[in-house]
Amino acid sequence: MPIAVAQWTLDVDDVQREAEFWSAALGYPTEPARTESIHLHPPEGSTGPSVWLQPTHDPKRVKNRLHLDFGAADPEAEVARLLELGARHCDVGQTGSESFVVLADPEGNEFCVFTEPHPELDRR
């Protein structure tokens, strides 16, 4: 049997700020911190991986080698909402013809939001 995504982990400088951003972005409740790290879980009855935010004091210097792609029922509204939460547009060499928008969280970690239907979203 193949492996499954159970959790994604993000090394961050400001754990609290990043937890607030990703909690609001994903609609995941924040588990009370017992350590310097913060764990976000999918809402009750929802599927999806949890998110672990752990502190690092090494600044981000280059483009992520791994990033997440998200889908939304109303991509334009979702991008606007994410920007309000603290995301920013990110230029990673796009041509303008992509079917996604590249954003970065408050610490510069890149992620994408599809602007068109994506076949993987139909499998859910």
Domains, the chain, with CATH or none = 1-58 (3.10.180.10), 60-124 (3.10.180.10)
Q: Over 70: is that where the pLDDT of 9 sits?
A: yes
Taking alpha carbons only, the member of 98, 101, 72 closest to residue 87 is 101
- The C-alpha atoms of residue 3 and residue 1 are separated, in whole angstroms, by 7
Q: What number is the average pLDDT over the span 69-82?
A: 94
> Predicted confidence band at 119 (pLDDT cuts at 50, 70, 90)?
low
Lowest mean pLDDT among 46-50, 63-67, 71-75: 63-67
Indicate if the alpha-carbon torsion angle 77, 79, 85, 86 is positive or negative.
negative
| CA distance readout (Å), 91 to 9, 14, 16, 67, 97 | 23, 23, 26, 14, 13
Predicted TM-score (pTM) of this structure? 0.87
Q: What is the pLDDT of residue 122?
A: 56
Angle (deg, nearest 10), helices 15-26 and 75-85 = 160
Please compute the mean of the pLDDT values over residues 91-101 and round it to a whole number.
84
Q: At 121, is the pLDDT very low, low, confident or very high (cuts 50, 70, 90)?
A: low
Confidence tier at 52 by pLDDT (50, 70, 90)? very high
